Amino acid sequence: MGELTTEELSLWGKKAIRDDQELWLPLVIHLIDAKNVINWLYNHWLTDNQRSLLMIENSESVTQNVVKFLGYIHDIGKATTAFQTKQSYAHNDSLDEDIMEKMIRGGFKDIDKLSFLKRSASPHALAGEALLEVYGVNKSIAAIIGGHHGKPLSNPVAKDTRYNSENYWPETPGEEQNRWRKVQEDLFQYGLHLCGFHKSSEIPRVNKIQAVLLEGLLIMADWLASSEYLNDDPSKPLFPLIDINESAADVNTEQRYQNAINTWQINDEWSAERVSDIDEYYVQHWGFHPREVQLAMCQEISKALDPGMMIVEAPMGIGKTEIALTVAEQLASRCGCNGLFMGLPTQATSNAMFDRVEDWLAKEAKEQDAKLSIKLMHGKAKFNQRNQAIPRAENVQGSGAVVVNEWFTGKKSILEEFTVGTIDNLLQMGLKQRHLFLKHLGLSGKVVVIDEVHGYDVYMSSYLAKVLQWLGAYNVPVIALSATLPKGKRNELLKSYEKGKFGSDQFETEPGWENNEAYPLLSMLDGKHLKQVTNFVSQKYKYVQVKRINVENNKLIDIVNAKIKDGGVAGIIVNTVKRAEEIADLMPKDVLTIVLHSAFLAPDRQKIEERLQSMTGKNAARPPRLVVIGTQVLEQSLDIDFDVLFTDIAPMDLILQRVGRLHRHNIKRPKGLQTPQLYILGINDYDDYGKSNEYIYEKYLLMKTDHFLKEKIALPGDISKLVQQVYDTATDSEVYGLKEAKAKFDKDQKIAENKAKVFQIAEPKHRGTIHKWLDWNLPDDRQGEIKAQAAVRDIQETLEVILLKEIDHQFYLLDGRKLVEVDDKTISDQVIRLPSVVTPEWKLDTIIKKLEDITSKNLPQWQQSIWLHDSLALILGSKQTTDFFDFRLSYSSNKGLCYERLEEKHG
């Protein structure tokens, strides 16, 4: 500190008041804290792969100097008149006056006389970038400073020091203006020398891909260096503020940083093994020997020298998850990755996968005697009981356990080593959104697994293609899993990854690779070479009988019940919640019936899923007779088994996914149901599938599915053939009367593609700065989260509400418990998404306003609750119904949320 003057040491970086104690942190202390933290993260937290991506001028020392300099200089914009005269967050006059007094004593004698017309025009991140440009720092580095609050500026801003000069130093030339200019220059020079540079021209440029990762690292370092205590626990100090009467000289920055890192580092690093004996690995982790397909795929992937993207196509129930986790460990070891992200289509599939990944990770933790931390990432993760039960890392003594590290929450979640969540978390890597750099930093260090990769429409696929380009640019190994992947989609995934990694989507491979219909199939990018492996042991075939029936709902019920009269489990999968509820209403009371769809409260849905798996999953005690009625949630990843299946018409790949729940396990079947039977519903005529089916799925795909779906399917042999027939345009000529439906399909695809591109980041390029990179961005709040999810899924924004009921002016949960007798977390569990038909986009603002009024009037205490402060309540009457705008809404724990239009009701 000896080289700095009293003026420089009297600048404040942070100030606060707690328990009547005035606290501050000298600016230079925060700059040194951030430099120390970012340097530690670079050396100890980044992966080998990330460090190699950041290598500047082929020099480890130059790279390290740049990293340290970014940490130190990030808040140089606080050394300005506009910032130093700012009020504290709490607007505490006494604190502000005492800090001002400190600065006057330190040499800034007229600081209390300054006034500002446009203080907000030069926020400190922008001011920092402007000062660096003035000092001759190249624009690629300066832009990182301008963007360190999550969003880079649109253009370089050196001119701001002229246009808004009063925000940087006193307007009048003379002693005071010179003092401020000298203070800023001194702090800059001090940082240069501290970080191994002599003059600004020595600081090298960084390319755009490096800038994105460096920005993410800087944001993380700044947040850590700004954390006073670990998870707000005063007994675990990180970088606390100091008493107002203390000075920079009282702080030992080296000791402070060492103590902070020791406190912050509460879990261990995963050291992935090479997995030389795959058979032993399976027995150790899952207690069984791998199937031949599993063994062959894992062996092939282990041979890759420069692994890129792997696509595993294999039947449902073959064990793709075990392949993915074994391969993830192989690839992490080969590529120097420190964790795993596994993305799934829905919250339900994420929950199911989370259990499996946690079991696997527990074995890893035990084997390595390490504390390994995991994160479940989706909107309802806090309601997942398994997730809730995992111990907090700081409470676990010793090692060999799976833990949760609570520092990695909110936008920091993706930085956690092991993450399982909805695919949105990956797709948003391609969405212009504040703090996007953290997603890129987190994902660039992991192996990425994408499950059910066939399940994404053209809009989501556009995001996925962009994300794969960036993952390719970061050399991130990607494993995609599917039972029913159209070859066009397979080819696009491989090309997107290759383009990101090498700048071209061409690879060396065998001729005819684009039309490969082998099944199972492993497509593997090894550097610039694509290898496709097809020589797997042939599977035992299962033959499914297919019948089309077009009947009214009451007749359907008769057919279903007749099928299971001698016992059995029948599945009915339909395309809308409304239809599922209508069919459920007609079921006879003496037939055990379970309904599952997306319109249930989180606790109810979880209970239903657990009940369903306990009755129809592997080794289940099956009831004599059961009918399961549900929507698309039944086709994805739930381990359930039907003796007979009825399904609405849907595109071929989704029908085959649903068939994956038919005779799934090798068990004895009831009389008359020994042969798998599939009944297709919803076909009025060859090209008439009803309004709601054609609204949900493109008529073009339904017509082709209807055409190619024959009276018998051989599984798994027919899977790839049937999917390719429907999705390959070369077969259009075989299908009668397709022209109009195809024209609509093409138009809709084009619209979706163009719409998707509006909010997408650019392709990865090495040239240029990060200016403009996020020039469209979403609000940084709850509505922003809803909009971000809608932006990557092309869905209408819908609202989540907490459902309660009111009886005699008292509020209750729907299960009968009084609101005053349950904790806030339990209340927040009662969340449900309103159907989009009830919350049309044009009316959304009015609906939100009404719900906000209901909530603030009846439940004002929610504002003070960390669980409920941004929640909206919808209050039902004693019979669990309410009239809400144009609809009557009702809820029951076995049917979920139902709605009907009021005119229908009164008509």
Residue type, 369: D
- For residues 320-326, give the mean pLDDT: 96
- For residues 897-906, give the mean pLDDT: 77
pLDDT per position as a tens digit, 246-276: 999 999 999 999 999 999 999 999 999 989 9
At 783 the pLDDT is 54
| Residue 617 scores a pLDDT above 80 | yes
Contacts of 229 (CB under 8 A, 6+ apart): 235, 236, 237, 238, 240
Nearest Cα to Cα of residue 380 among 828, 804, 781, 866: 828
pLDDT per position as a tens digit, 840-851: 877 878 888 899
3-state secondary structure of 237: strand
- Structure confidence at residue 863 as a pLDDT band (50, 70, 90): confident
| Residue 291 scores a pLDDT above 90 | yes
| DSSP string for residues in 491-554 | HHHHHHHHHHHHS----B--TTGGG---SSEEEEEETTEEEEE--PPPPPPEEEEEEE----HH
At 636 the pLDDT is 66
- For residues 291-319, give the mean pLDDT: 93
Of 205-214, 639-648, 896-905, the range with the highest mean pLDDT is 205-214
| Residue 109 scores a pLDDT above 90 | no
| Residue 826 scores a pLDDT above 70 | yes
Q: Domains in the chain, ordered, with CATH?
A: 6-264 (1.10.3210.30), 278-533 (3.40.50.300), 542-715 (3.40.50.300), 796-906 (no CATH)
Look at 54-68, 248-262, 530-544, 625-639 and tell me which has the smallest mean pLDDT.
Answer: 625-639
What's phi and psi for 802, nearest 5 deg?
A: -100, 125
Q: pTM score > 0.85 for this model?
A: yes
DSSP 8: H
| Residue 768 scores a pLDDT above 80 | yes
Is there a contact between 415 and 441 (Cβ–Cβ < 8 Å)?
Answer: yes
pLDDT per position as a tens digit, 418-466: 999 999 899 999 999 889 999 999 999 999 999 988 877 778 888 999 9
DSSP 166: G
pLDDT per position as a tens digit, 346-356: 887 888 899 99
At 40 the pLDDT is 98
At 817 the pLDDT is 93
pLDDT per position as a tens digit, 386-427: 888 999 988 888 788 999 998 998 888 999 999 999 998 999
| Residue 889 scores a pLDDT above 60 | yes
Which element (helix H / strand E) includes 680?
strand 677-681
At 72 the pLDDT is 98
Nearest Cα to Cα of residue 344 among 406, 243, 420: 420
- For residues 296-318, give the mean pLDDT: 93
Is there a contact between 68 and 194 (Cβ–Cβ < 8 Å)?
Answer: yes
At 24 the pLDDT is 96
pLDDT per position as a tens digit, 684-735: 998 899 999 999 999 999 999 999 999 999 998 899 999 999 999 999 999 9
- For residues 17-29, give the mean pLDDT: 94
Question: Tokens 């399961």 belong to which residue?
Answer: 628
Mean per-residue pLDDT over the chain, rounded: 91
pLDDT per position as a tens digit, 571-611: 999 999 999 999 999 999 999 999 999 889 888 888 898 89
- For residues 20-33, give the mean pLDDT: 96
At 789 the pLDDT is 57
| Residue 646 scores a pLDDT above 60 | yes
At 206 the pLDDT is 98
pLDDT per position as a tens digit, 51-69: 999 999 999 999 999 999 9
